[in-house]
Chain A
Amino acid sequence: MTEEIIKDVIIGESEDYIINIGPQHPSTHGVLRFEVCLQGETVKYIIPHVGYIHRGIEKMCESLTYPQIIHLTDRMDYLSAHMNNEAVCLCVENALQVEVPERVKYIRTILDELNRLASHQLWWAAFGMDLGALTTFFYGLRDREMILDIFEESFGSRLLHSFNTPGGLMHDVHPNFQKKIKEFIKYFRKKLPEYDQLLTGNVIFKQRAVGIGPMSKETAIAYGVTGPSGRGSGWACDLRKHAPYSAYDKVQFTECLETEGDTYARYKVRMREMWESLSILEQLVDNIPEGDYTAKMKPIIKLPAGEFFQRVETARGELAVYIVSDGNKTPYRIRFRTPNFSNLFVINTIASNFKIADLVAVSGSLDLVIPDIDR
């Protein structure tokens, strides 16, 4: 296929119609450009072009200390900021063999799930809007506001909170933390069925989503499509279940799997995950143990020489942190395997031979966050 592309695009022999979607197109959710080859209205192939907001985070980290790195990880996948922080923190704690207090583990898990909910709400809001259902945006952002308020009260910031630090948390949570979460759970349990009434069973929505962009389990594994997108294809890749970290081994939840692998299946996985997140929150919120909010750490954190690897499940899939340390206070090399990077490049395989309007549905269902791809 690549030879064809070179022939078509570079030599210009083809009569196919090539258009650019992006970099400033609303449906790409960021500065991403799809070079789409069309035959009539049908997509022949898609070449994603990335790098418009490449900031060189991996290079920058080489001259920063570990507590400083935390603040850069927020800027990768800004909708799963807490999980990104946690990945680096867990990796550093593993390397130093520090046991964090139980309280930290519980609070981290609660924040993970709140962040996942906020992320899925925004995804649902934007996905509806991608397909022309404007109301979803108001519904999604209204409910997300409650979570952001909880964040703001405890950390002082709403999106990029950098609340984790190697060894624990920056400071203790606000006294209202538990009360606010319980209010939110009660509120959102009533609102979530509204989401289903509005979009899930909607005939117009289903015609845009069912059977569009099918991805087999083999394709998902081959392209490394993790997270809800991979689970929509029946690949059990939830690291919360298979490689538990923090307090995930203490809670009961089901891994949401669908087997169809189309846009609708990926949609259903995320909708079910919101219910699971609520149930995890309910199990944890009343049981936060008393104790310190951080383990005792040295003022200057130096990792032993060696290589360390840690994976966490963000709202979009598997985030892996790989640190090569030479014993200094800065990493020799740090690598972030970000979920969106792999999730994006499957799009040529699954959205080819569908209509161009379906490309928007497929890329929406993959839930792409572009700074996470570029880093």
Chain B
Amino acid sequence: MLNRDELKEIIISLVPEAEFAEGTQLPEVIVPVAKLLELAEKLKTNPKTLFDYMINHTAVDFNTHFMTVYHFESTTHKHLLVVKSKIEDRENPETESLAALYPTCEFFEREVFDLFGIRYKNHPNLKRLFLEDDYGHPLRKDFRDEVNMIER
């Protein structure tokens, strides 16, 4: 089990652009979208980290940008890591798909695509999961539905 500093050291050596967040509950790293796939692949295969289990993938809408969040755990070493990447373009958000590395991510990504409208490059089957094709993206903060939503 690696602690926060050891993880930081390894990740910086893999991806020098990575930024570390301080004072968070879990070790947290922010990487550019272009480096996401590369980092995930290296973290999964590196014998010291071995992040082979993706607990959770989701996105957060911060009005000015989207943040995609990945929670990883190593089933061997039992350490956790949060990987984030920032998507600046709200009109046409796009990021890398990790479905080839983590099969479970395929469905998390379909959910995020459905509810946030973030497109994933190289996703095997990017279709909406829950809602109809002409519905908006309800988890965006600017989503409005006058019929079914009560403003508080």
Residues of A within 8 A of B (CB): 2, 5, 50-51, 54, 56, 58-59, 63, 94, 221-224, 235, 237, 242, 306-309, 311, 318, 320, 322, 324, 332-333, 335, 337, 341-342, 345, 349, 374
Cross-chain contact of A51 among B52, B56, B124, B131 (Cβ < 8 A): B131
Among A50, A222, A335, point to the contact of B56 (Cβ < 8 A).
A335
Q: How far is the CA of A349 from the CA of B107 in the complex (A)?
A: 14
Separation in Å of the B10 CB from the closest CB of chain A?
Answer: 21
Contact with A along B104-132 (1 / 0, CB 8 A): 10110001000100000000110001110
Q: A374 contacts B55, CB within 8 Å?
A: no
Q: A342 — which chain B residues lie within 8 A by C-beta?
A: 104, 107
State whether A222 and B55 are in contact (beta carbons under 8 Å apart), knowing that A235-B75, A306-B24, A333-B60 are contacts in the complex. Answer: no
Residue from B25, B56, B124 within 8 A of A2 (CB atoms): B124
Q: How far is the CA of A82 from the CA of B111 in the complex (A)?
A: 26
What is the bound-complex CA distance between A337 and B56, given in angstroms?
Answer: 6
Q: CB-CB < 8 A to A324: which residues of B?
A: 60
* Given A56-B138, A224-B104, CB of A237 within 8 Å of CB of B60: no
Are A54 and B104 CB-contacts (below 8 A) given A221-B52, A224-B55, A332-B60?
no
Residue on B nearest A333 in the bound complex, by CB? B60
B71 within 8 A of A: yes
Q: A307-B24, A342-B107 are in contact. Are A337 and B55 (CB under 8 A)?
A: yes
Are A50 and B152 interface neighbours, CB within 8 A?
A: no
Number of A-B contacts (CB under 8 A): 75
In the complex, which of the residues A50, A309, A341, A374 has the most CB atoms of chain B within 10 Å of its own CB atom? A309
Q: How far is the CB of A373 from the nearest CB of chain B, in Å? A: 9
New A-B contacts (10) at CB < 8 Å, excluding given A59-B139, A306-B24? A2-B125, A50-B129, A51-B129, A59-B138, A222-B103, A224-B102, A320-B56, A322-B71, A324-B60, A341-B107
Q: Name A335's closest neighbour in chain B (CB-CB).
A: B58
- Name B53's contact: one of A58, A221, A306 (CB within 8 Å): A221
CB distance from B115 to the nearest CB of A (A): 8
Contact A306 B107 (CB under 8 A): no
Q: Given A320-B71, A335-B56, does the pair A309, B138 have CB atoms closer than 8 Å?
A: no
Nearest first, the 3 closest Cβ-Cβ pairs linking A and B are A51-B130, A224-B104, A337-B56
Q: Which residues on B sit within 8 Å (CB–CB) of A235?
A: 75
A95 — nearest CB in chain B belongs to which residue?
A: B25
Nearest A residue (CB) for B138? A59
Q: Are A224 and B53 in contact (CB under 8 A)?
A: yes
- State which of A59, A224, A308 has its C-beta within 8 Å of the C-beta of B54: A224
Question: Are B104 and A237 closer than 8 Å at their CB atoms?
Answer: no
The reply to whether B107 and A309 form a contact with Cβ atoms under 8 Å apart is: no
Find out whether the CB atom of B139 lies under 8 angstroms from the CB atom of A50. no
Q: What are 5 A-B interface contacts by the 8 Å CB criterion?
A: A51-B129, A222-B52, A335-B56, A337-B56, A374-B130
Please name all residues of chain B whose beta carbon is closer than 8 Å to the beta carbon of A345 when the two chains form the complex: 104, 106-107
Nearest chain-B residue to A235 (Cβ)? B75
Please measure, in the bound complex, the distance between the C-alpha atom of A266 and the C-alpha atom of B131, giving whole angstroms.
32
Is B75 a contact partner of A322 (Cβ separation < 8 A)? no
| Chain B positions within 8 Å of A320 at CB level | 55-56, 71
Query: B91-102 toward A: CB 8 Å interface, digit per residue (1/0)?
Result: 000000000001
Q: Are B60 and A221 in contact (CB under 8 A)?
A: no
Is B138 touching A222 in the complex (CB atoms < 8 A)? no
Cα of A374 to Cα of B58 in the assembled complex, Å? 15
Residue on A with the closest CB to B151?
A63
A345 to B107, CA, bound (A): 8
CA distance A54 to B138 in the complex (A): 12
CA distance A50 to B69 in the complex (A): 23
Query: Residue of B at shortest CB range from A225?
Result: B104
Q: Are B26 and A309 in touch, CB under 8 angstroms?
A: yes
Q: Are A311 and B130 in touch, CB under 8 angstroms?
A: no
Q: Is the CB of B75 within 8 A of A221?
A: yes
